[in-house]
Amino acid sequence: MNPFDAVMIIVILLMAGAGYIAKALTVSGACMSFLVGASVYIGFSLQGFLLLLLFFSTSTLCSKYKKEKKTRIRRKAREARQTRLYSSPC
């Protein structure tokens, strides 16, 4: 293993930790992201890792996009279902 590879493994570890600290990942998610990231880097070198990084970044941004609005819509739908359920005669 050359020095650049060792640095990249440490960078992947730090990125997984940053994902956990940013609350984008759980502990198990951070562990798996490190394992997957390191495996992709070892198997497909820097180009494969950059592609994986692009996927993770865009999927994280997309899942957080308008999250509050989606949560409000889901909450209203759940309240409507519960109201119908509890107000219906048995």
pTM: 0.68
Half-sphere exposure of 68 (CA within 13 A, CB side): 0
Q: Which of the 8 DSSP states describes residue 1?
A: -
Query: pLDDT-based confidence at 90, cuts 50/70/90?
Result: low
What CA–CA distance (Å, rounded) separates 56 from 3? 25
Q: Which residues contact 26 (CB under 8 A, 6 or more apart)?
A: 20
* pLDDT > 70? residue 52: yes
> Does residue 1 contact residue 11 with C-beta atoms inside 8 Å?
no
pLDDT at 88: 65
Instruction: Provide, rounded to the nearest whole percent, the portion of the chain with pLDDT above 90.
Output: 56
pLDDT at 63: 78
> Does residue 7 contact residue 49 with C-beta atoms inside 8 Å?
no
